[in-house]
Amino acid sequence: MMNTLTTLGATLILATSTFAANANATEFTAADNTLGTQLCMAIAKDNKTSLRNTMQKLRVNKHVMTEKLMCNDLTVEKFAATYALTNSAKHLNIDLNTSTTIRDLAAQRNTDVLVVSGSK
């Protein structure tokens, strides 16, 4: 009985992590090493800790991130919504549930390489 539960638990964890990895299959590559691009890449990582550390290192606050930064000629809110970057959006206090975007969910299954550039 214990082995069955252990096996079931390991299978569920593996299935969940596989689904999470496939949820955002876009691969982001930096276009250059400017501050804007570094901030956009931190958003693209979709990791709250990494984003917070990058913002602290570059001395940028949430207001500047959400009101002045552009990632690939999109506002940070549209950039996060387009690529389903929910963790970054949460950290920046962006509610993705209230924004309306059109996403091709079938296209997200393919791994795309996207070059990211930030505003200067």
* pLDDT single digits (tens) 68-104: 999 999 999 999 999 999 999 999 999 988 655 566 6
* pLDDT single digits (tens) 41-63: 999 999 999 999 999 999 999 99
With 50 as the cut, is the pLDDT of residue 17 above it?
Answer: no
Whether 46 and 26 have beta carbons less than 8 Å apart is answered as no
Whole-model pTM over 0.85: no
| Residue at token pair 């602290």 | 56
List Cβ neighbours of 32 (8 Å cut-off, separation of 6 or more).
Answer: 117
Whether 94 and 76 have beta carbons less than 8 Å apart is answered as yes
For a pLDDT cut of 90, what percent of the chain falls above it? Answer: 53
Sign of the CA dihedral running 110, 21, 91, 119: negative
Whether 117 and 37 have beta carbons less than 8 Å apart is answered as yes
With 70 as the cut, is the pLDDT of residue 7 above it?
Answer: no
Output the pLDDT for position 119.
72
* Mean pLDDT (whole number) for 7-12: 45
**Higher-confidence residue: 11 or 61?**
61
What is the rounded CA–CA span in Å between residue 63 and residue 27? 27
